[in-house]
Amino acid sequence: MGVRGKRQLLENYIPRLYGYAFSLCGDVHDAHDLVQETAVKSLKSHRVPEDEPAYRAWLFKILRNTWLDVIRRRSRRLAVVENDPDYAEIGSPVWTHDDSIISALTVRLCLTKMSPAHREVLGLVDISGFSYVEAADILEVPVGTVTSRIARARSAMLAHLANSNVRQFPAERRGRGAS
Amino acid sequence: MTSQPTDQDLNAYIDGELSPGEGARVARAIARNPAIAARVACLTRVKSALCDLGEDLPEQVTVPVPLRPSRWIARAASIGLVAAIGILLLLTIGAFEWTDDAWYQEALAEHAAWVEDPVPGAAPEVDANLFLASLERFGLPVQAPDLTSAGLRLTYLRYVPPSAAKPAALHLGYTGRRGCKVTLWASPAPDGLGTALDESRIDSLRGFRWRSGATAYALFATGMAERRFSVIASKVYEATRGRHGFDRETRIALRDASAGVPPCLA
């Protein structure tokens, strides 16, 4: 595959790459750097999968491995999600809060408080739009692990939302002195 | 699946990951049980908010283009002249009677020529990291900073081969969104150039020069507010002296340098 072909293929995935990177980093600048580094590595590689699903998994694995290198350098360790403190196995818990607190803004803020493993699976499935099978391939875990992990991640997200004091203003506001 | 869907079942349902039969069973449970329906609605809203987040993320990422070597460089690489060139460059350090002022004037003239007549058509987007790696093949340790945080993209590069009178040099050209132009000029250091960041003004064009080890740098800007250029110069100086990239605080400072100053003029 020539340089132009590699670049065109890569460009199609930039938004999803960036969404996944943001879920990992929680910071727009770090996500930008992560995607740039991933792009450079993919363009420099001589062994690029021709099949698009294989290419997609390969590309996102590069990003993930690059991120793992970053956090190793920062001497952090990925939490094991099954024992993650921000998860509580609650079966089918009852949500008693106003659904209006669930918004892109509040979710974005709560995402930064979640464990790396939870952020990662939400990033792959919800932000980047991968199926469970595709996410499992990128994470190199069984599909069943993705199934349980996404359920726990969303429950953890709801728990963080319930405990958050951030609310998004409604899009329309009533004028003063309306008769 | 048991008669009562689990939370995993509900999540897989909203993700479209269940088989048709399993999906139909969950759908019946939703229809019969308001609590399950409320849970599914809640999870759907979380998923939707995350999808919206993905679409709302503001940062624009530029796909880099691998450096396309000039014909001269490609030929040199293919016939194994790279090492010889590197040695030649190293040997030329100090071999020229190339004074600080003459070197600076040369760099300034090249910047002015580029600003006057930039590369026509769509300039290639050059990735600074790849560029640096290829530069190091020539034995000239040049730091090519990534100035995207400052709104500047590396859009031009030119290798200036040595002549009898002067050493080789590298001209890196950065372009801002509004068309301002910044040159970073790098070459073996001339006699008399110090390591401090030295500001000069020639013919109303302000510039900076300094030395980092055996490498000399000059920095010029056209169409940019002076205060912003000062911030960029100080950060580029620090990066080249320290042989490191920009940390998060520096990137923020570069980004904020354009706040409160007049916009650039193309």
Q: Which of B11, B57, B127 sits opposite A40 (nearest CB)?
A: B127
Give the pLDDT confidence score for residue B87 in this predicted structure: 42
Helix (H), strand (E), coil (C) string for chain A:
CCHHHHHHHHHHHHHHHHHHHHHHHCCHHHHHHHHHHHHHHHHHCCCCCCCHHHHHHHHHHHHHHHHHHHHHHCCCCCCCHHHCCCCCCCCCCCCCCCHHHCCHHHHHHHHCCCCHHHHHHHHHHHHCCCCHHHHHHHHCCCHHHHHHHHHHHHHHHHHHHHHCCCCCCCCCCCCCCCC
| Averaged pLDDT for residues A83-88 | 42
The Cα–Cα gap between A18 and B58 comes to 10
Amino acid at A58: W
Which strands sit side by side in the sheet containing B205-212, from one edge to the other? B152-160, B169-176, B181-188, B215-222, B205-212, B198-202
Question: Do A3-73 and A81-163 come out as alike in CATH topology?
Answer: no
Assigned token pair, B38? 């409320």
Exposure pattern of A41-80 as b/e (b: 16+ CB <10 Å)?
ebbeeeebeeeeeebbbbbbebbbebbeebeeeeeeeebe
Q: What is the mean pLDDT of chain B?
A: 73
Q: Does A12 touch chain B (CB under 8 A)?
A: no
Helical residues (DSSP H) of chain B, grouped into ranges: 7-14, 20-32, 34-56, 71-78, 82-92, 100-116, 128-135, 226-242, 248-256
Domain A81-163 has CATH 1.10.10.10: yes
Q: Does B133 touch chain A (CB under 8 A)?
A: no
Ordered by where they begin, the domains of chain B are: 7-56 (no CATH), 93-256 (3.30.200.100)
Give the pLDDT confidence score for residue B51 in this predicted structure: 82
**B33-37, B67-71, B244-248: lowest mean pLDDT where?**
B67-71
* CA dihedral sign, ordered B245, A68, A16, A12: positive
Q: Does residue B219 register a pLDDT over 70? A: yes
Give the pLDDT confidence score for residue B259 in this predicted structure: 67
pLDDT band at A76 (very low <50, low <70, confident <90, very high): low
| Averaged pLDDT for residues B226-240 | 87
The Cα–Cα gap between B156 and B115 comes to 11
Best of B53, B146, B153, B256 to mutate (most A CBs within 10 Å, chain A)? B53
pLDDT one-digit tens code per residue, A21-58: 988 888 777 888 888 888 888 888 878 888 888 888 89
| Averaged pLDDT for residues A51-74 | 87
Q: Does residue B172 register a pLDDT over 70? A: yes
Assigned token pair, A84? 């993650």
Name which residue leads in pLDDT, A85 or B169.
Answer: B169
Give the pLDDT confidence score for residue B114 in this predicted structure: 87
| Averaged pLDDT for residues A95-107 | 66
Q: Does residue B32 register a pLDDT over 70? A: yes
**β-strands B198-202, B169-176 pairing:** unpaired
CB atoms within 10 A of CB B123: 15
Contact by Cβ (8 Å): A98, A84: no
Give the pLDDT confidence score for residue A120 in this predicted structure: 92
Q: At what angle do helices A143-163 and B7-14 cross, to 10 degrees?
A: 100
Assigned token pair, B251? 């990137």
Name which residue leads in pLDDT, B12 or A41.
Answer: B12
pLDDT one-digit tens code per residue, B114-134: 888 765 443 444 444 444 544
| Averaged pLDDT for residues B133-156 | 66
Name which residue leads in pLDDT, B237 or A80.
Answer: B237
CB atoms within 10 A of CB A166: 12
Q: Does residue B6 register a pLDDT over 90? A: yes
Calculate how close chain A gets to B5, using CA atoms only, in Å.
9
Among the four given CATH numbers 1.20.120.10, 1.20.1090.10, 1.10.1740.10, 3.40.47.10, the one describing domain A3-73? 1.10.1740.10
Q: Which of B63, B130, B148 sits opposite A7 (nearest CB)?
A: B63
Q: What is the mean pLDDT of chain A?
A: 76
Give the pLDDT confidence score for residue B242 in this predicted structure: 59
**pTM score:** 0.50
Query: Which of A77-86, B4-13, B209-218 reaches the highest mean pLDDT?
Result: B4-13
Contact by Cβ (8 Å): A48, A128: no
Q: Does A78 touch chain B (CB under 8 A)?
A: no
| Averaged pLDDT for residues B10-38 | 92
Whole-complex ipTM: 0.76
pLDDT one-digit tens code per residue, B48-73: 888 877 665 544 555 554 444 444 44
**Where are chain A's structural domains?**
3-73, 81-163
Best of B1, B11, B254 to mutate (most A CBs within 10 Å, chain A)? B11
| Averaged pLDDT for residues B21-46 | 91
Q: Which of residues 28-67 of B touch A (CB under 8 A)?
A: 35-36, 38-39, 41-43, 45-47, 49-54, 56-59, 61-66
